[in-house]
Amino acid sequence: MDYRLEGKQAFVAAGAYGIGEAVANLLTQEGASVIVADRDEEVLREKASAWTGVVVADLATAGGVNEALSYALKTFGKAPDILINNLGVGDSSSFEDTSDERWAKSIEVNLMGCVRICRGLIPEMAKNGGASVVNTGSDLAKQPEPTLMDYGVCKSGLLYLTKALAKQYAPNVRVNAVLPGPVWTRMWTRPGGIVDQLIGHYGVADRDAAVKRFLEDRYLPLGIGQPEDVAHAIVFLASPLAKFITGSTLDIGGTLRGLV
């Protein structure tokens, strides 16, 4: 599909795996120059040849964000046309067991990383005009769950940030968010990730049984998605094809339980 991105410059935050990687690859296929930032140096170096550039940085810290943005601005020679904020990490636990340290870590990754990147790039993107930002949220921002409360609270904050930035920077920068349901990424599949946590939660024997129970409980008829399913929605919102869309939140993944 032609998203009209030939010659555009894009910065993808947290793009070594999953949704971020799928977005970076699709942007590249569509003719954009893409810089990917992530903290996983080994994986990032292995995949570096797929993109224009990579920068190893911990985007949950102010110093890491500054390092990544400095690299992007120097490499591109200006602010990018497209910014994709894909930071996110979550672990299932009860409210009572979620410590202050866990809340602080979650806020740094799931909210402040995006805040700092937006603050560092959007004012410069606005000077050039015709720019777009897409933030990766979560269906939990609208459909609260008790076991990922810190993650969901941050993703709800991301919705406010998205709409407020869209209002402030229109018409020079469009700012939108996608809200994926469950997607088969490392957040789910890594050892000790959500799937393993569900095994303990449901008291079942294996991953398949845990996922089946989860999908039934949450009424997710489309099942668990793949990163590419989300990537096309993100790239569309980032592209000129979505020039009349800003401040929007796009639900992805058959999360049918609410009206908001």
- Active site positions, annotated: 151, 155
DSSP state string for 53-91? EEEE--TTSHHHHHHHHHHHHHHHSS--SEEEE------
How many angstroms separate the CA atoms of 84 and 13, rounded?
A: 6
Q: Which of 24, 73, 64 is nearest to 41 (CA)?
A: 64
| Dihedral over Cα of 15, 17, 20, 25: its sign | positive
Sequence-distant (≥ 6) Cβ neighbours of residue 236 within 8 angstroms: 3, 242
How many angstroms separate the CA atoms of 209 and 220, rounded?
A: 15
Burial (CB < 10 A; 0-12, 13-18, 19+), residue 195, is buried
Burial (CB < 10 A; 0-12, 13-18, 19+), residue 167, is exposed
List alpha helices for the chain, DSSP H: 18-29, 41-47, 62-76, 100-107, 113-128, 149-169, 186-189, 194-202, 207-218, 227-238
Number of other residues whose CB lies within 10 A of the CB of residue 124: 15
